[in-house]
Amino acid sequence: MKDQLSSYVDLHKNEILSQLSKFVAIPSESGNPKELSAAIDFVLILSEILGLSAQAYCQNQVIVIEMGSGDETLGILSHLDVVPAGDLDLWDTPPYEAVIKDGKIFGRGTLDDKGMIIASLYAMKAVSNLGLPLHKRVQLIIGTQEEVEWTDMDSYVANYPLPDYGFSPDGEYPICNIEKGCIDYALELDTDDNPEGLHLVSIKCGVMQNAVPDMA
């Protein structure tokens, strides 16, 4: 089975890279409704081309691509939104262009998480085309607000059943099944006893709280 899947991927390598390049070219930042909509349309159309059942939910905030059948469901959890590119002068390659260099693909979302969406779609297509047995229903659940407030998942969880099992191909791990969490905190300094009369006016660091800052 593993050899069959590997052969399928090798055979469709150029197609996979081409679709990823088109996907990366969409600057689907979490706060940009127009580009998020374009990314959603891209995924829905590609799913249809691949012969997979896809539907948008929660006012177009969540896409579910489904295959297989069974009493239990395996969920693949992903997202198509990205954090802002920041200072473009600090990029070695254009952020919204998939560039292959030194055997790696560079571009915003190639690792988190557009590359994984393309990989998951073609994995589902490979299993379907090769007629490999499935004993569970498989759902690729794609959100659009993972990089910000997760309003997409809040709405989805409140209105639709969750998979029995799930993992996220988000990053180079190659999968995550748990995260330790995040923390936001406020920093307060007492300047009343400062003999120089100096006061902290502001701190500027990056563009998103969940991204490594390009400057501070």
DSSP, residue by residue, 180-216: ------------TT-TT----------S-TTS--S--
Digit-coded pLDDT (tens) for 57-66: 999 999 999 9
% of the chain at pLDDT higher than 90: 72
Q: Are 141 and 64 in contact (CB under 8 A)?
A: yes
Q: Which residues of 33-65 are buried (b: 16+ CB within 10 A; e: fewer)?
A: eebbeebbebbbebbeebebebebebeebbbbb
pLDDT of residue 44: 98
As a whole number, the mean pLDDT across the chain is 90
97 pLDDT more than 80: yes
**Max Cα separation, the chain?**
77
Question: How do beta strands 73-79 and 165-167 pair?
Answer: parallel
The residue among 183 and 75 whose pLDDT is bigger is 75
Residue 23 has pLDDT above 80, yes or no: yes
Helix, strand, or coil (residue 114): helix
The token duo for 190 is: 């007492």
Q: For residue 139, list its beta bridge partners.
A: 66, 75
Look-up of token digits 């150029």:
14
Are the CB atoms for 62 and 158 separated by under 8 Å? no
> What is the model's pLDDT at position 54?
98
Active site residues per annotation = 81, 146
What does pTM read for this prediction?
0.86
* pLDDT confidence bin for 186, thresholds 50/70/90: confident
**Residue position matching structure tokens 């009369």:** 197
- In the predicted model, is pLDDT for residue 145 greater than 90? yes
The token pair at 112 is: 């988190």
Question: What is the rounded CA–CA span in Å between residue 62 and residue 77?
Answer: 11
